[in-house]
Amino acid sequence: MLLSKNFRYFGGNGYEIEKFTALKVFVSRLAQGHRVKLLPAVRIELNNLKADVWAQFPKKKVLGTPGDAKSKLACNKSQGAGCLL
């Protein structure tokens, strides 16, 4: 569920995070459904990643197509509703 009007969606394309080394290590260790406490270095790199992406795509929010076929289901966009899949 998306609860923001200020987002960037990469879909199946992803985004290159090679220059964010602490973030890359953090993401490689994530497991589904686990809560995490961000280390200061990871938090800083997430903020830097956001700044980079927003500077590169200041207006465009959807930057890729969904990687999952189920995600292509129609949403009720006319009333501002999102999709729950």
Q: Which two tokens stand for residue 82?
A: 């999102």
Buried (b) or exposed (e) across 26-63, using 16+ Cβ within 10 A? Answer: beeeeeeeeeeeeeeebeebbeeeeeeeeeeeeeeeee
- DSSP H or E segment with residue 42: helix 40-56
The pLDDT assigned to 74 comes to 52
Overall pTM > 0.85: no
Q: What's the confidence (pLDDT) of residue 83?
A: 46
| pLDDT, block means (10 residues), the chain with 85 residues | 84 85 89 85 94 94 78 51 44
